[in-house]
Structure 1
Amino acid sequence: MPDSTQTLLLTCLLGLPFVGAIGLGVLKNRVPESVSGFLAVLLTAIGLFVSVVIAASVGEPLHWQTDWISFSGHTFPLSFQLDALSRLMLVVVHGVALLVQLYSIEYMRGDARIGPYFAYLQLFVGAMLGIVLAGNLLILYGFWELVGLASYLLIGFWYHRPSASRAATKAFLMNRIGDAAFLLGILLTYIQTGSVDFGTQPLTTAAGLCLFMGCVAKSAQFPLLTWLPDAMEGPTPVSALLHAATMVAAGIVLLARIHPMLSSDALTVVAAIGTATALWGGFSALFQLDIKRVLAFSTVSQLGLMVAAMGTGNVSGALFHLLTHACFKAGLFLAAGSIIHAVHTQDMRAMGGLRKALPYTFAAYVICAAALAGVPLLSGFLSKEVVLGGAVVWAAQRGGLAMLVPVGLLISSGLTAVYMARQLRLVFWGEPTDAEMIPHEPGWLMRGPVLLLAILSVGVWFSINPLSAHHSPFFAQMHLPVLPEGPVWLAPLSIALVLVGGWLGFRLREPATDSKLALASFHYGYLDQLYQRLFVNPTRALANFLHRADQRAVDGLVNGFGIGTVLLAHIAAFIDRIGVDGVVNGAGKLAVGVGQLTRSVQGGRVQTYIATAVAVVLFLLWWIL
């Protein structure tokens, strides 16, 4: 395909969702809800078709650049690129977005704000495409912030719910922490290299870690992970799009872009953070009661797996797991939405026995959950083996504490099987607690995307040999090397952990409500409580202190100065009225009196003149004598 044709296609590709966002935003609810959904689906379907055409036309990476901002001798370019990673993510973003929007037409039916909902989805898709196609750090950062805005709008879509409003604010603020560090990293990169382009030379460890902080916040890594489970307050299709397949994957895309720029020490920190996140997310998912929160923490854990793979130098394994995870996790969230739609609750304790009432949803859920747990013949097994094998090879080369990384990732893999088996037991086995509940399968607009994602979670689509990813065409298409296979004991050990974890999840009784272990898991390690004590409470105390100081000291000083000024003005007014005005008025009155006296003397009467002359003579004689 000629470069000019690809340029035109990519321009249309990037512009379509923004046109859709503006159009649907302007129309709002002036058109029927089915029309809003149809327009959004049509635009995304066109984008998916163009993405597939571009992905199929494998060629050399393309780069477009023009001067954008220039000041004080510094020029920053407007830059976009199309390479193997861009081609992959274009298909993933459009594919998942299309299925989510089809699903949303039925799921959101009857909502009073259906127009803005699809407008926000289109805005999000456009922002994600900008991240995927960005040719330098500055352009990526601009779209990065736009993704944050779109996610805020979608998480808080039901803003009349206080919990949704709080969740949106929390996500926005926690992401700003990472974004501030990300921006600082961009500035340090420019200072060190004189450019904001993606480079191949390692930066200083500080600059690399600042860039990585953007990933920590956006991809919910430890310690900035507590916003993701709260973000489940948004509509379930939003959870599938933002927090399973695309938005949280933006951090992994960023890591893939900057990986050659990270020093060895920075990559070690990345591996450690990813491992800690995988374990923390897995433990936090164990005893959750909300069906979506279990999936949210599983997303946190799987993102930790991808980040750890990046830290161990296994870029190909991280991106492979990103691709498989997009399918089975989006399928799980959409299937969870079908369950919630059927039973009108997210509490798994109120469910049970749904495998008979929702057979299609049950089948899709089992396949996607098994893929997430890493059951052989499914996509999750293939990608996890690549990640775990790379971690074992990396640790073996370094020895010592480096072995904690593959050990931690193996434990998190076992925890995945435990909490997914527990979820399947609570939702689909046993008996429903509400005898009056009559659940039923949703329509095909909701059922179809779930079943398709379950089919895409089968391993054969990703590798000719469903037991090994080393024969997958993915790596050749991505121009990435396949890392050496791990030791022969790794796959049997991984399968054994899945089997044992699944057995435990099915067999273990629910702990008591006051169990310390269950409470620690339910409150995700008390991270929010820790933040409350370390940051929120001191900040509030400082704010209250400053408020009181402002009221008593600053306001007191200002008010006292004002009162003193008013008092001084009254005194000056009194002096002016009694003193200055009194003298002036007295002189005037004296002059008037003298004038009146003189006028009376000059009355034309001889007697008055004689009397006056006599009085004057007598006064002069008295004065002289």
Structure 2
Amino acid sequence: MPDSAYVLPAYLLLGLPFLGFLVLWLAGKSLNKFAGWIGVFLTAIGLIVSLKYADPSTLHLVKFDWLTIGNTAISLSFRFDTLTCVMLAVVHFVALLVQLYSTAYMHDDPNLHRYFAFIQLFLFSMIGIVLAESLLLMYIFWELVGLSSYLLIGFWYFKPRAVWAAQKAFVLNRIGDAAFLTGILMLFYYTGSTDFEVLSLKIESVSPGILTAIGLCLFGGCMGKSAQWPLSGWLPDAMEGPTPVSALIHAATMVAAGIFLLARISFLLTIDARLVILIIGTITMLSGAFKAMKAWDIKRVLAYSTMSQLGLMVVAVGFGSWQTALFHLVTHAFFKAGLFLSAGSVIHAVTPSQSEAPFDPQDMRTMGGLRTKLPITFICFSICAGALAGLPFFSGFLSKDAIITEGFLWAAEFGVLGYVFPIIVIFSAGLTAYYMSRQLWLVFFGEKRFEVSPSVHPHESPIAMLLPIILLSVLSLFFWFSVNPFNAEGWFLTFIGQSEDAHLAWVPIVATVTTLVFILLAYRQMQTNDPFDTKASSVSISTPEKQKLTWLRDYSQEHYFIIPFVFITKYLKLFEKKVIDGFIDLLAKGSVIFAHLIGWIDKTFVDGGVNLTVFAIRSAGQAARSMQSGKIQSYYIVTAMGIFLLILWLLML
């Protein structure tokens, strides 16, 4: 199919969501009743167009001139290739299910038109990133995605926490985007272009050191969007937005933009740049997993898990295998979106019919025993949790197995020290299994802790919410990606161009055993009298003097601050107090002592010297004056003495 045939799909894919945004935004509340279905319809058309024009075997470019700077013409180009096919299908499909889910989950909200308008704006921005053929064009849509995220996180603008979370996400993303823009400008300076096709030809002319710096600057954009350490603090707080938003942009699509960027620029990344990326991804993967083991908010656990899984994808890029990173991106998009939507179903079920200040429907300590009340949600949540934990027969097992295999193959070339990283990946997979077992137990098993509230009556969600959850859980099974449940080398990796590497037969066994060991540890914890210390960390609803300390999430201003910055400022305060203030105090005391010393020297030597000179001159004057007495006999004596001394001096010579 010629490139000219892709002009229409490019305009449709970008034009439909932007048109939907304008219509829903300008129409106002008059379209509240139909806003969700308008969004579903437009997204369904986009999905059909994406599938119809999918041609992964051939690169198609749609280009037109935008502006000219000096002798350099800047054009806007859209790209249709394998990466585009995959991402367009994932973005449209997840967005379609999320909007269908939202028609029921958000049906009572008075601002539905604004909610679905923002989702359409987000789709327009995300599709622009996927289609962009140049880093400059990608950056334009990159910023629009940041704006869309800000609007959706802060959708409930009357909640101070939601507004703060939106601001936090916006600020931290701007830090990463500044580095991203710096990398783009450096590329333009050294190559004269930001088009991927041109860069692939000119990149050899750039020195390795400069290329490493450029790659790390571009990676800064990924650190912001994909919540990599130390810019990961915004993602857990972004859960203050509506739950379907969490599923759409903070589990499946927006946070995946950074991984997509790394896949696009993989040919730019030097060995040194990939090593830094590997280290950052490892830190993020572990920190997210450890934080998920301690969180009580059902959505926050999944948010920390998303951080950890994004870190795993970045680790895969560090191993030099963007294909396995993309593989995990796709599988993660389905099962993590399913988990978030299932969490929304749980929250919907345990939300009190009457407002109760001390009862938090997102706190897992207010749940328990819900498997009998929500059987479909329980099954779907369990399937998606199994995929996230990396259990066999689920998609997550295949994608994690592929990354671990690539890790050991990379370590074999890197050296003995390199084996630390794939071993940490296996350990992190075990942690994932542990905290998902913990969450599954806290929500669906054990004591029915929601019964402390008389107005909570758990019930299964309507079909509009259950259908997307069921579809996403079915897509979390292994057979969609490989016929062999224990071998990741299925059609998908071949489809995205994964080279044939040796399959390590022992990797699935070791990964499975590790996962089962951690699940067993979680199970043993469940058998104790107080599993996961739920009673030690919560109180009965009948003790009002303690309610505000435990059941409610803390909305105080102190906890609004960005957690990484709190950590940094804590030690900066100590540094200022102990080092800087200590140095200033020492300098001040030294100055006082030095001033006293200078004063003593000035008084003793300078003033003393002057006084001595004055005294000597005065004494000499007085002596000379004493000889001018006016007595002639005195003058004779002086003359005689002078002659005598002169003769004596002559004789000595």
Length-normalised TM-score, structure 1: 0.82
Q: Is residue 2:258 matched to residue 1:251?
A: yes
Give the residue type in structure 2 aligned to 1:530.
F
Write the distance in 1 (CA, Å) between the matches of 2:408 and 2:493: 20
1:343-358 equivalence runs, <5 A: 343-344=350-351, 345-358=361-374
Shift in Å at residue 476 of structure 1? 2.6
**Could you give the per-residue CA deviations for residues 247-284 of structure 1, whole angstroms, max 9, x where no partner exists?**
00000110001110011100111111111111111111
Q: Is residue 2:488 matched to residue 1:469?
A: yes
Write the distance in 1 (CA, Å) between the matches of 2:263 and 2:406: 16
Q: Does the 8 A contact of 1:18 with 1:122 survive in 2?
A: yes
Write the distance in 1 (CA, Å) between the matches of 2:307 and 2:422: 17
Query: For residue 570 of structure 2, what is the aligned residue in structure 1?
Result: 533
Write the distance in 1 (CA, Å) between the matches of 2:113 and 2:385: 33
Q: Say how many residue pairs are matched.
A: 528
Query: For residue 393 of structure 2, what is the aligned residue in structure 1?
Result: 377
Write the distance in 1 (CA, Å) between the matches of 2:523 and 2:28: 47
Give the residue type in structure 1 aligned to 2:23.
G
Query: For residue 497 of structure 2, what is the aligned residue in structure 1?
Result: 479
Segments of 5+ residues of structure 1 without an aligned counterpart are 515-521, 540-625
Q: Does the 8 A contact of 2:233 with 2:562 survive in 1?
A: no
Query: For residue 30 of structure 1, what is the aligned residue in structure 2?
Result: 30
Shift in Å at residue 536 of structure 1? 10
Equivalent position SS for 1:119: helix
Shift in Å at residue 493 of structure 1? 1.3
Shift in Å at residue 483 of structure 1? 3.5
1:125-274 equivalence runs, <5 A: 125-198=123-196, 199-200=199-200, 201=203, 204-274=211-281
Shift in Å at residue 462 of structure 1? 0.6
The change in CA–CA distance for 1:355 and 1:482 in structure 2 (over 3 A counts) is: farther
Query: For residue 404 of structure 1, what is the aligned residue in structure 2?
Result: 420
Write the distance in 2 (CA, Å) between the matches of 1:208 and 1:58: 26
**Could you give the per-residue CA deviations for residues 166-195 of structure 1, whole angstroms, max 9, x where no partner exists?**
000000000000000000000111112121
Query: For residue 420 of structure 1, what is the aligned residue in structure 2?
Result: 436
Shift in Å at residue 526 of structure 1? 6.2
Query: For residue 617 of structure 1, what is the aligned residue in structure 2?
Result: none
Write the distance in 1 (CA, Å) between the matches of 2:513 and 2:497: 33
1:270-285 equivalence runs, <5 A: 270-285=277-292
Q: Is residue 2:377 matched to residue 1:361?
A: yes
Query: For residue 474 of structure 2, what is the aligned residue in structure 1?
Result: 455
The change in CA–CA distance for 1:327 and 1:537 in structure 2 (over 3 A counts) is: farther
Write the distance in 2 (CA, Å) between the matches of 1:260 and 1:460: 31
Query: For residue 315 of structure 1, what is the aligned residue in structure 2?
Result: 322
**Could you give the per-residue CA deviations for residues 293-318 of structure 1, whole angstroms, max 9, x where no partner exists?**
00001100110110000011111111
1:387 to 385, 388, 403: 403
Q: Does the 8 A contact of 1:475 with 1:482 survive in 2?
A: no
Shift in Å at residue 433 of structure 1? 1.5
Shift in Å at residue 525 of structure 1? 13
Q: Is residue 2:429 matched to residue 1:430?
A: no
Give the residue type in structure 2 aligned to 1:39.
I
The change in CA–CA distance for 1:159 and 1:418 in structure 2 (over 3 A counts) is: same
Write the distance in 1 (CA, Å) between the matches of 2:336 and 2:574: 36
Write the distance in 2 (CA, Å) between the matches of 1:53 and 1:407: 42
2:341 to 334, 341, 366: 334
Write the distance in 2 (CA, Å) between the matches of 1:215 and 1:113: 32
Equivalent position SS for 2:265: helix
Query: For residue 67 of structure 1, what is the aligned residue in structure 2?
Result: 65
Write the distance in 1 (CA, Å) between the matches of 2:262 and 2:349: 39
Q: Does the 8 A contact of 1:316 with 1:482 survive in 2?
A: no
The change in CA–CA distance for 1:109 and 1:404 in structure 2 (over 3 A counts) is: same
Give the residue type in structure 1 aligned to 2:514.
L
Equivalent position SS for 2:368: coil
Q: Sequence identity, in percent?
A: 52
Report which stretch shifted further, 362-371 or 22-31. 22-31
Length-normalised TM-score, structure 2: 0.78
Give the residue type in structure 2 aligned to 1:293.
R
The change in CA–CA distance for 1:538 and 1:241 in structure 2 (over 3 A counts) is: farther
Alignment RMSD, CA only?
A: 2.1
Shift in Å at residue 537 of structure 1? 11
Equivalent position SS for 1:96: helix
Shift in Å at residue 79 of structure 1? 1.2
1:489 to 502, 506, 509: 506
Write the distance in 1 (CA, Å) between the matches of 2:137 and 2:227: 22
Query: For residue 50 of structure 1, what is the aligned residue in structure 2?
Result: 49
Q: Does the 8 A contact of 1:236 with 1:334 survive in 2?
A: yes
Give the residue type in structure 2 aligned to 1:490.
V
Give the residue type in structure 1 aligned to 2:424.
G
Give the residue type in structure 1 aligned to 2:337.
A
Shift in Å at residue 2 of structure 1? 4.4
Write the distance in 2 (CA, Å) between the matches of 1:348 and 1:225: 23
